[in-house]
Every structure is written in structure tokens, then in C-alpha cells.
Amino acid sequence: MLNVLIVDDEPLAIDILESYIQKIPDLNLIAKCSNAIEANEALNANSIDLMFLDIQMPQLTGIELLKTLTNPPLVIFTTAYSEYAVEGFELNAVDYLLKPISFERFFKGVNKAIDKFKSQSTEISFEGEEPFFFVKADKKLIKVRFDDILYVEGLKDYVIIRQKESRVITLQTMKSLETKLNNTVFKRIHRSYIINLTKINAIVGNMVEITEKGQAKHIPIGKNYREELLEIVNQKRL
């Protein structure tokens, strides 16, 4: 679920956006602001994932506000003026909605934001150090070391990264996370599971056995993935 902030100096525009947001279960409206100063305070006080930002406002425009933020959330601009579109996209806005905004157009912009939010993790590696990446979870960016991952479990729009001593639940698709994992170490063995090959203790029938918190954990092997997994295992067999 994305935490949402509305910033607009027109009460009617705020009401329309609020009514649209209430129709989408993946959105959670945190605050409504009528100017950039209020918006800045709301951003400092809350964890905001997506901001619907009007451009023409008193004191500071939406574009001026966005330029002042060092770690801005995802932004969808809302405005009655199309001439700002180019500058909006240059600031990496997810979308640019022209007023009056239809629900269909709003919904399309929200889907773009959800897709971008799910794929937001940054892989970083340093020479001589263990590789890792960050995922967004529990209103913060959490560092995950590749070597700590036992397996990844998919659950609808979320993935659970099972580690040696803990787990991380993040709003992301299995496909997007799979692209960030080293495919020589991590293999998808089921529609809902990606396994760290170095953590396998045994393969028993159609199950992979690993040790999780001192106990044997059995993970199913999907029939579409079994042949590739066995081929990898056979290459390692003496």
C-alpha cells in the first residue's frame, strides 16, 4: 500500500482526488495540503510514497517545491496548464495529469506509480565487500545481503525475503526482484519461490531442503522448473 499526500490550493480538486484515492485499495491517504509550506511539513512528519502535486500554487509552485526536496516521494503532477509537462517529466515525475482529471486517467497514472514503487530497489556492490541491495519495507530502506538470503517467497503483490535470522516483506513482484539477484546463485524453482542454490542441503523428490532457523525447511519444486534445477545439480555432482 502506498502512503499518499495531496498538495493543491483548490478545495474542489482536493475533493476529487480524495474521492478517487478512496476507490483504490492500494492507496492510503495520509494528508491534504493547500500549499507547499504545509506539504513540506507533512513530508517531514510522515512516510509518503506518492504525492499528487499541483503546480500553480501561492508562495512556491509545485515544481519549485519538488526541486527543494533531497529525497522526494514518487510524484504525479496535477495541473490545468499543459506547458509545464516537459519540465515536470524532466524532474522524473511518474505522470502528468491535466485538469479536469477523469478517474480513468487518474487510475492509469496510479498504476504507473505502483509499478515504479514495486521496482524501487537499488543494487549496490563494492569491490572486496559482500554485495547487497536495498528494498523499501516498514517505511524505510532495508539493506539485504545476498549471502544472507535463504529463499524468496512470493505472496500476491508482496515478496518475503527469508534470511538467516529474519525476514523482510516488501511491496514488489517476484519478477522485478528476480532481475536483481545473481542468476548463477539464485534460481526460481517454483512460481512462488526463488532459492539460494548455496543453501540447498538436499533434494528430496519434488522438494528442496534447506535449514531455516535450525530446522529443515522443504520448498516445492514446480514441474516447469524441475528440469533446469536438476541440470544445475548434475553439473555440481561428483
My answer on whether 174 and 104 are in the same domain is no
My answer on whether 148 and 48 are in the same domain is no
- Residues 6 or more apart whose CB falls under 8 angstroms from that of 67 comprise 91
Question: What residue numbers bound the domain in which 40 lies?
Answer: 2-118
For the cut 80, the answer to whether the pLDDT of residue 82 exceeds it is no
Q: Note the pLDDT tens digit of each residue in 18-40.
A: 999 999 999 999 999 999 999 99
My answer on whether 57 and 93 are in the same domain is yes
Cis amide bond preceding 100, omega within 30: yes
Domain boundary among 84, 118, 152: 118
For the cut 90, the answer to whether the pLDDT of residue 157 exceeds it is no
Average of per-residue pLDDT values in the chain: 86
My answer on whether 135 and 103 are in the same domain is no
| Interval 108-123 mean pLDDT | 77
Q: Within the chain, where are the H helices? A: 11-21, 36-45, 62-68, 85-90, 103-118, 174-178, 223-236
Place of cell 519444486: 221
pTM of the model: 0.54
My answer on whether 130 and 84 are in the same domain is no
Rg (CA), the chain: 22
Straight-line distance from the first to the last Cα atom of the chain, in angstroms, rounded to the nearest whole number: 48
Q: Note the pLDDT tens digit of each residue in 29-76.
A: 999 999 999 999 999 898 899 999 999 888 888 989 998 988 889 999
Total Cβ atoms within 10 A of residue 214: 5
Domain boundary among 71, 100, 118: 118
pLDDT grade for 156, boundaries at 50, 70 and 90: confident
